[in-house]
Amino acid sequence: MPRVNIGRELSDVPFGEMISSMGLAIAEAQYAMDESGLRLAQMMSGEYEVEEVDPITGNSTTSTKESLVHFDGQKMSLIELGFTPTFYQFTDATIEVKISISFTEQSEFERKSSRRSVSGRAFGFILGGSARVRTSSVSARYANKYNYSAEGSSLMRTRVMPTPAPAVLEERIRAIVERNKSADG
């Protein structure tokens, strides 16, 4: 296994892409919270629109629903009763990315050898003689061990705080309420 260049490994980590993805996720979440707050404000003003999709044809229609409550013999909106919609906003976000890359290499070489000598004499009917035998045995062992690990973790902390409805929105909601009061009578 070739040597690992830790610096190159770290430079290959797509930090920019990770941070960009997290930033976009925060922006999408903020948009969803704003949209939810607007729908809540519309409902609290006394009427709101609902989009309904026909499950068979897939056609959508929009209808207006009334959201008034009976209070002291009158139909009133929640805003007329003093309620205000709550909006939420990301006040700060912390993005923390941790990466750990480690590489170890271990090589072992072991050599063992042994020698043996055997000698003997033999006498026969015709000739007498001696013989000597030497043996050597060699064993070698080579081991190369590699260990590579890469770890990563990311953590994103955000703080969401309630914020008052925008002043312009509150003025428009109150104008709707007043217009509905004069239309009713």
DSSP 9-32: HHHTS-HHHHHHHHHHHHHHHHHH
Instruction: Report how far residue 171's alpha carbon sits from residue 164's, in angstroms, rounded to the nearest whole number.
Output: 13
Provide CB contacts within 8 A for 127, sequence distance 6+: none
Provide CB contacts within 8 A for 70, sequence distance 6+: 76
160: three-class secondary structure by DSSP: strand
Residue 44 lies in a domain: yes
Residue 28 lies in a domain: yes
pLDDT digit string (tens) for 143-152? Answer: 666 666 666 6
State the pLDDT at residue 60: 94
The answer to whether the CB of 156 falls within 8 A of the CB of 93 is yes
Give CA 119 to chain center in angstroms. Answer: 76
Instruction: Report how far residue 21's alpha carbon sits from residue 96's, in angstroms, rounded to the nearest whole number.
Output: 13
Per-residue pLDDT, averaged over 33-53, amounts to 90
Residue 24 lies in a domain: yes
- Give yes or no for residue 163 having a pLDDT over 60: yes
Residue 1 lies in a domain: no
Between 99 and 171, where is the model more confident?
171
Residue 126 lies in a domain: yes
Alpha helical stretches, state H, 45-166: none
Total of domains in the chain: 1
Containing domain of residue 152, as a range? 6-184
Residue 178 lies in a domain: yes
Residue 90 φ/ψ, nearest 5 degrees: -70, 120
165: three-class secondary structure by DSSP: coil
Between 168 and 135, where is the model more confident?
168
Residue 56 lies in a domain: yes
pTM of the model: 0.55
Residue 124 lies in a domain: yes
Token pair recorded at residue 154:
């990311």
The answer to whether the CB of 158 falls within 8 A of the CB of 92 is yes
